[in-house]
Amino acid sequence: MSTIQNIEAVKSRMKDVWNSGDYGRFATYMEPGALEILEGWNIAPGERLLDVACGAGQISIPASRAGVSVTGVDIAPNWIATARARAASEGLDAGFDEGDAEALPYKEGAFDVVTTLVGAMFAPRPEMVASELVRVARPGGRILMVNWTPEGFVGRMFKTIGRHLPPPSDVPSPLLWGNEEVVKTRFGNTVSHIILTKKIYLLWNYPFGVPEVVQFFFENYGPTYRAAQALDGEKRAALRKDLEQVFSEYNIARDGTTTLYSEYLEVDAVKK
């Protein structure tokens, strides 16, 4: 069990990070991959779905369109506002709440399916996250996670940021959620079975070059936005240079645009 000094300060910083930038704009490039993942999950119309750390609704909105009974929850109020606006604009009845993945504001067994798309992995106390994901699922319900792996593009990006701006030493790396053995340990005997599969997130296509993509991340993605803001001109330039190197390594486009890919670990578990 992780022990974190001054957890409220950690949570406040985390909330500030995810409130930074414009995730709604950032996530538009991730939505094709989210749609592919949602289709593969085969969630039936009418099932009660909780989307934890739902962001701007990458899973919640299309699931609601497909007739799933959706509730989304996120710690960042700006994302919840964006998701609500999207649902309202389409006349969807999906509900969205501000809440913490470590203390979900729902009754035990309230949902048929509990999902999180590269979201709950960033909460600072993973044992509590695993416990909560299981608690709010009904017996026999599914827990579905998508977690970035340490070896993939996003894992490399976070490690690069960490070299320039070290994370708190008492907070476990979110990338541990991309390790199969760690995931098995965290869920333990609360699930009847668990399937862990490493996959590649559908390509992110940007109609501009790597330097412009890094700038796009600096402006719109909370972690890179906050890192850039925390560093002075020379140190920020060094971070930019290192990130451009990582982005270039994972760019498979050869026409001046940028097409990125990233490995993730899919978790498909069933509550006992």
pLDDT for the residue 48: 98
pLDDT for the residue 10: 81
Res 2 pLDDT > 60: no
* CATH number of the domain encompassing residue 76: 3.40.50.150
pLDDT for the residue 206: 97
Res 23 pLDDT > 70: yes
The answer to whether residue 226 sits within a structural domain is no
The answer to whether residue 48 sits within a structural domain is yes
The answer to whether residue 249 sits within a structural domain is no
The answer to whether residue 120 sits within a structural domain is yes
The answer to whether residue 196 sits within a structural domain is yes
Q: Quickly state the pLDDT bin for 203 (edges 50, 70, 90).
A: confident
The answer to whether residue 45 sits within a structural domain is yes
The answer to whether residue 232 sits within a structural domain is no
From residue 193, alpha-carbon distances to 76, 143, 269, 270 in Å are 32, 11, 6, 6
From residue 17, alpha-carbon distances to 6, 41, 62, 112 in Å are 17, 29, 26, 31
pLDDT for the residue 159: 96
pLDDT for the residue 3: 64
Condensed to tens digits (0 to 9), the pLDDT of residues 127-176 reads 999 999 999 999 999 999 999 999 999 999 999 999 999 988 889 999 99
What single DSSP character describes residue 177?
Answer: G
Which contiguous run of DSSP H or E holds residue 91?
Answer: none
The domain of 198 spans 7-157+167-202+261-271
Number of structural domains (the chain) is 1
The answer to whether residue 254 sits within a structural domain is no
Res 202 pLDDT > 90: no
What percent of the chain stands above pLDDT 70? 99
Q: How far apart are CA 64 and CA 72, in angstroms?
A: 10
pLDDT for the residue 198: 98
From residue 265, alpha-carbon distances to 122, 180, 191, 209 in Å are 14, 8, 17, 28
Res 229 pLDDT > 60: yes
At 20, give phi and psi (nearest 5°).
-80, 160
